[in-house]
Amino acid sequence: MITISPAAEAQIQQARQQSDAEGLALRVAVELKQDGSLHYIMGFDDNKKQGDMVIDAEKANVVINVASEPLAKGMKIDFVELEGRMEFIFINPNDPKQKPPTA
Domain residue spans in the chain?
A: 3-98
Report which secondary-structure segment, H or E, holds 11: helix 6-18
pTM (2 decimals)? 0.84
CATH superfamily of 3-98: HesB-like domain (2.60.300.12)
Mean pLDDT, range 5-30, rounded to an integer:
92
What is the per-residue pLDDT across 23-75, written as a single tens digit (0 to 9) for each?
A: 899 999 999 999 888 999 999 998 888 889 888 777 788 999 999 999 999 99
pLDDT of residue 43: 94
β-pairing, 85-91 with 76-82?
A: antiparallel
- Looking at the predicted structure, is the pLDDT value of residue 100 above 70? no
- Looking at the predicted structure, is the pLDDT value of residue 101 above 70? no
Dihedrals phi, psi of 83, to nearest 5 degrees? 50, 45
